[in-house]
Structure 1
Amino acid sequence: MKHCADHRLPEILRDTHHRLRRAGTVASETPVVAADLYWSIGALAQCLTAMDEVISQLGINARKQLRAGKFDVQSGPFEGEPDAALLTAVLALARASSSCEPVQAAIGNAQIAVSDLVVARTTSA
């Protein structure tokens, strides 16, 4: 099993986290027009979709490593019990993935709301 130092995923996720925090700071300090808001919500939707794919891939990779005998738990509550550790991890990943669905729906509703505001503003002008 690769250690975190051997894999770029944690580094990429950390960078994404920092970029989103900076974007939040910028958004709180500057006025946003409807087109920017719509685009930003779309970018969040893409990020969430990508995160759901990462969550799914992590579960798939963990199963492959277990089947290949490369998944080992050397400490903690699942020490020496890779099957139990993997089952717990896969269930947690499945819960995380299913939690993405309502957020995706909310983001879609936010895009519709922004579009409706723009239409309402242009028809009343």
Structure 2
Amino acid sequence: MEHCVDHRLPEILLDTHHRLRRAGTVASETPIVAADLYWSIGALAQCLAAMDEVISQLGTNARKQLRTGKFDVESGPFEGEPDAALLTAILALARASSSCEPVQTAIGNAQIAVSDLVATRHIRA
């Protein structure tokens, strides 16, 4: 790759992992609070958005390398065929990126459901 962009994705994922473990521990002893669930879903949405950005950036960098001819494959199934290797990688990244969209929709729907549940409880109370 031409340059690396510093992404906070690993930090966000680690923080999310710790918070979800704590939430799971608390949930086993007391009912989970809707705000905690909403935050957890939001953290997943942030991680997914960051992951999609990284996938997109990898695809962009691969296309640049393909155009400039700065990529060489010295071993493996694409040995000596950098164009085929990069095109295969770009297609795989495009598939991965397109797979993020339905998950993003589901996460958004989950956040709406939690908000609606909280609003319904407050209206009935």
Per the TM superposition, whether the score is higher than 0.5 is: yes
List structure 1 runs of 4+ shifted beyond 6 angstroms: none
SS at match of 2:89: helix
Cα RMSD (Å):
2.2
Counterpart of 2:87 in structure 1 is 87
Q: Distance in 1 between matches of 2:13 and 2:5?
A: 14
Alignment match of 1:23 (pick from 10, 19, 27): 19
The aligned runs of 1:46-125 (5 Å cut-off) are 46-125=46-125
Q: Distance in 2 between matches of 1:17 and 1:112?
A: 22
Q: Distance in 2 between matches of 1:73 and 1:113?
A: 48
Instruction: Tell me by how many angstroms 1:23 deviates.
Output: 3.0
Instruction: Tell me by how many angstroms 1:93 deviates.
Output: 0.5
Cα 1:74–1:15 change in 2 (3 A) is farther
Q: Which amino acid aligns with 2:77?
A: P
Calculate the TM-score normalised by the size of structure 1: 0.82
Deviation larger for 55-64 or 20-29: 20-29
Q: Percent identity?
A: 70
* Structure 2: 5+ residue stretches without partners: none
